[in-house]
Amino acid sequence: GESVGLHLPTLSVQEGDNSIINCAYSNSASDYFIWYKQESGKGPQFIIDIRSNMDKRQGQRVTVLLNKTVKHLSLQIAATQPGDSAVYFCAENIQAGTALIFGKGTTLSVSS
Amino acid sequence: GAVVSQHPSWVICKSGTSVKIECRSLDFQATTMFWYRQFPKQSLMLMATSNEGSKATYEQGVEKDKFLINHASLTLSTLTVTSAHPEDSSFYICRASGPLQETQYFGPGTRLLVL
């Protein structure tokens, strides 16, 4: 079964707000985590990743936070835009060359 | 950045026919290829893992004789859905992985519709 899950299946925000998407994982051996964005009819698009030796990593408008104590991962999107509307998946990986384990996904809807 | 392509992007076929989907890594050597299936409003479900030159490892519940995977080179993997049925209609996505965890990219997906 899936070892990575998401707390909320949907998230609706207003344009300009900050969005926070959460994810819980269960395998303490996972050492690499990725957030993907998937638009309808397309393959997953890499957003940001983080290794287990870090607790925070920032990209352009996005920040990933990792709390290993409670096995929690979150994706923060600053100044959310309508183009950010998509399904967001977290994924965990134990070792290079092995499968990514995906969570169920959170649908982010951004209204103008 | 690295690009992974899939061909075809769309395929409609009659029940009972076989369909081949290609996944190519365009600018890096993919030592491992992963094939996923995704049904509407669901997450990606891993079907199989293949290493170049080796037989694929299938996930539980995935029929290896129905979903034939070939990974003959470091840049090409193929998934053949044999004797396709309407329940095989889905979105099939490959992921190409290099030797490092950071080197992994998804293809754009192939939507299969079996009539």
pLDDT tens, per residue, chain B with 115 residues: 668 999 999 999 999 999 999 999 998 888 899 999 999 888 899 999 998 888 899 999 999 999 999 998 999 999 999 999 999 999 999 999 888 877 789 999 999 999 9
A16-71: pLDDT as tens digits: 999 999 999 878 999 999 999 999 999 999 999 999 999 999 999 999 999 999 99
Give residue B21's pLDDT: 98
For residue B77, the model assigns a pLDDT of 95
Asked whether the predicted pLDDT for residue A4 surpasses 60, the reply is: no
The residue written with tokens 């990219």 in the block is B105
Interface touch A42/B108, C-beta < 8 Å: yes
Q: Is A30 an 8 Å CB contact of chain B? A: no
pLDDT at A2 over 50: no
- Contacts of residues A4-10 at CB distance under 8 Å and 24 or more positions apart, as own/partner, are A4/A90, A4/A91, A4/A92, A4/A101, A4/A102, A4/A103, A5/A103, A5/A104, A6/A90, A6/A103, A6/A104, A6/A105, A6/A106, A8/A106, A9/A104, A9/A105, A9/A106, A9/A107, A10/A106, A10/A107, A10/A108, A10/A109
pLDDT at A106 over 60: yes
Contacts of A24 (CB under 8 A, 6+ apart): A4, A5, A6, A7, A70, A71, A72, A73
Flag if A44 and B44 touch (Cβ within 8 Å).
yes
Over pLDDT 90: what percentage of chain A?
74
Cβ separation A89–B43 shorter than 8 A: yes
Residue B108: is the preceding peptide bond cis (ω within 30°)? no
pLDDT in the model for residue A3: 43
Q: What is the pLDDT of residue A73?
A: 95
